[in-house]
């Protein structure tokens, strides 16, 4: 009975199992069966190999407890250290290239300023000066530290904050006058005004040298890698020394002092392409090919002005040299005429000087003769005065002798006294004339 009951139970449960398998549609199971049958032995081998590799990789990368193994960690640390070293070297390389570019373009800008000053006066309208001012502003703003506020935020600052502190030791500096300018309010505008005033005073190199010698202040305002903290700083001071030979004329109320916009450097005047010896086609053909996008701005006339305008630039230079030569000739003629005029004036002055010297000699001789005559007269008058003094003494003695005699003789003595008085009266006017 047990067997039957078990058999009955099995017969009863079998339909239930069939009903549970029925929800799986045969249309889905059949393709999977067909695909599995269609796979080749090679495909099954590759699948098995990939599974084995995946398991082996998981065992290698994980140790006990699912932690990464020492090999994986060492490889990760090595790759991380290489990545950090590459970043540092890349940043150092970028900083060095940036410093070299600014110093090189500054040297070119100073050279163009000196060349331009030979033909015309440098003022605010000169593109060479505007480019130089932008370059110098970029150099002095390179890696400039920001100003930390009370809330811990770092606000940008201008290079004028550094110049104002570092250039106080310059004798007769223009810091106070720029600080008191009414039309200049922002720090950037004051820095631009300082550049112009220093150039007109011919003290820009002195300002920069004094600021760079104050290393403590420079370190406080600039980060590591700045131009003013490197070897390029000495080159900068030497380059700016050549600007002392140029006469600048600026208006400190112009638009160039606007501090709302940063200065932008124009590199195109200093770019020149040199064709390689391995190049097959000419420069014009290559530029025409590169500028064949269809837009007018990409044509060779706009892409390569140094090549198209080369002849015109040489013609302009030749014209300027010719004008300078004509101006020099005119100045030479004027100076020669002025020299002849000065020579005539000099000869006339020499002749007049000789006449005056002769007159002085004659007057000296006349004065000497007159002096000798006056000395002789003085000696004679002194002799006469001595004789008159002896007569006075004689008259005094006579008067005393008369008083001692009789009164009858006193009248005769009075007569003699009167004669002596008359003689003395005649002598006094002569003494006054001698005096």
Q: Of residues 310 and 185, which shows the higher confidence score?
A: 185
| CA neighbor of 128 nearest in space, from 145, 108, 144 | 108
* Collapsed DSSP state (helix, strand, coil) of residue 72: helix
b/e code 223-254 from CB counts within 10 Å (16+ = b): eebbbbbbebbeebbebbeebeebebebebee
Please give the pLDDT value at position 310.
61
Q: At 274, list the tokens.
A: 């040199």
Q: What is the pLDDT of residue 419?
A: 60
pLDDT reading at 357 higher than 90 = yes
pLDDT at 312: 73
Domain 94-270 is in which class? Answer: mainly alpha
Share of the chain above pLDDT 90, in %: 35
Sign of CA dihedral 291, 295, 299, 302: negative
Residues 362-407 have pLDDT tens digits of: 999 999 999 999 999 999 998 888 888 888 788 887 887 777 765 5
pLDDT of residue 287: 63
Q: Quick one: tokens of 64?
A: 């006990």
Residue with tokens 């190999």: 49
How many other CB atoms sit within 10 Å of the CB of residue 210?
Answer: 19
Q: What's the pLDDT at 9? A: 40
* pLDDT at 95 (0 to 100): 85
Q: 190, 181 in Cβ contact below 8 A?
A: yes
Res. 53: pLDDT tops 90: no
Q: How far is it, in rounded angstroms, from Cα 263 to Cα 226?
A: 18
pLDDT digits (tens, 9 = 90+) for 153-192: 677 889 999 999 999 888 889 999 999 888 888 899 999 9
Domain boundaries, the chain: 94-270
Per-residue pLDDT, 322: 87
Give residues with Cβ within 8 angstroms of 197, minimum separation 6.
174, 177, 178, 250, 252
Q: Is the pLDDT of residue 330 over 60?
A: yes
CA 216 to each of CA 219, 229, 237: distance values in angstroms, whole numbers, following the listed order: 5, 11, 18
pLDDT at res. 60: 42
For the stretch 197-224, pLDDT in tens is 999 999 999 999 999 999 999 999 999 9
Query: What is the DSSP secondary structure assignment for residue 167, as one 8-state letter?
Result: T
Quote the CA–CA distance of 67 and 281 in Å, as a whole number: 62
Is the pLDDT confidence value at 18 over 60? no
Mean of per-residue pLDDT scores for the chain: 75
- Does the pLDDT at position 423 exceed 90? no
């Amino acid at each position: 009975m047990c067997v039957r009951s078990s058999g009955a139970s099995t017969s009863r449960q079998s339909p239930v199992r069939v009903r549970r398998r029925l929800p799986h549609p045969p249309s889905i199971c059949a393709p999977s069966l067909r695909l599995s049958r269609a796979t080749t032995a090679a495909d099954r081998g590759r699948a098995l190999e990939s599974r084995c590799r995946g398991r082996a990789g998981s065992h290698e990368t994980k140790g006990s407890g699912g932690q990464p193994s020492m090999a994986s960690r060492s490889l990760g640390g090595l790759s991380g250290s290489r990545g950090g070293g590459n970043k540092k070297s890349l940043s150092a390389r970028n900083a060095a290239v940036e410093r070299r570019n600014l110093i090189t373009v500054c040297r070119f800008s100073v050279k163009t300023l000196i060349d331009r000053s030979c033909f015309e006066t440098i003022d605010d309208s000169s593109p060479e000066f505007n480019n130089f001012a932008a370059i110098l502003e970029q150099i002095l703003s390179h890696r400039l530290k920001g100003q930390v506020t009370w809330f811990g935020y770092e606000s940008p600052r201008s290079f004028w904050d550094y110049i104002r502190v570092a250039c106080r030791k310059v004798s007769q500096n223009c810091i106070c006058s720029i600080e008191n300018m009414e039309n200049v309010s922002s720090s950037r505008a004051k820095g631009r005004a300082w550049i112009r005033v220093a150039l007109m005073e011919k003290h820009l190199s002195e300002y920069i040298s004094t600021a760079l010698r104050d290393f403590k202040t420079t370190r406080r305002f600039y980060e590591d890698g700045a131009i003013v903290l490197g070897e390029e700083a000495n080159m900068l001071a030497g380059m700016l020394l050549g600007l002392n030979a140029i006469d600048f004329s600026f208006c400190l109320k112009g638009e160039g002092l606007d501090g709302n916009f940063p200065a932008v450097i124009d590199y195109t005047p200093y770019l020149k392409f040199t064709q390689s010896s391995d190049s097959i086609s000419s420069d014009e053909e290559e530029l025409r090919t590169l500028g064949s996008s269809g837009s007018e701005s990409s044509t060779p006339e706009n892409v390569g002005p140094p090549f198209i305008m080369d002849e015109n630039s040489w013609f302009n230079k030749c014209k300027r040299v010719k004008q300078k030569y004509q101006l020099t000739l005119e100045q030479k003629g004027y100076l020669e005429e002025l020299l002849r005029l000065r020579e005539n004036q000099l000869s006339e002055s020499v002749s007049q000087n000789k006449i005056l010297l002769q007159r002085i000699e004659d007057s000296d001789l006349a004065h000497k003769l007159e002096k000798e005559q006056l000395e002789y007269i003085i000696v004679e008058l002194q002799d006469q005065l001595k004789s008159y003094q002896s007569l006075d003494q004689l008259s005094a003695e006579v008067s005393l002798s008369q008083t001692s005699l009789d009164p009858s003789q006193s009248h005769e003595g009075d007569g003699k006294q009167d004669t002596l008085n008359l003689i003395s009266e005649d002598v006094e006017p002569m003494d006054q004339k001698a005096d």
